[in-house]
Amino acid sequence: MTNGRLCLVALCSLLILCTFISSSQSVSCCLRYTPHPPPCHRIRTFSVQTIGASCDINAIIFHRKNNRLVCADPKSTETLERLGCLKRRRQTQMAKKQKTQH
């Protein structure tokens, strides 16, 4: 009988632990937009957030050089300008890399 109780207690403890772990994991989402995105020279890269089960808004997430994240409206003119700047920067870096390889 003690083995059965021990198994039951272990199983209940495991279920409680699994419930706690899964509820404590949160998905990081942008909940609102920053009024003005950072200047291009301070942005390292970006990612795209789409509306889903845990995120309520579409957003461009700028990853700053200081490891901070900035949420920007994907329809904003300022956001589109920053994305263009990042694209040009990437093209310049790729052109430099190609020159050094030849």
- Domains contained in the chain, CATH given: 30-101 (2.40.50.40)
> Which tokens belong to 10?
């272990």
φ/ψ of residue 60, rounded to 5: -100, 125
pLDDT at 54: 82
**Whether the predicted model's global pTM rises above the 0.85 cut:** no
- How far is 18 from 11, CA to CA, in rounded Å? 11
What confidence tens digit (pLDDT) does each residue in 3-37 have? 667 655 555 454 554 444 433 334 589 999 999 99
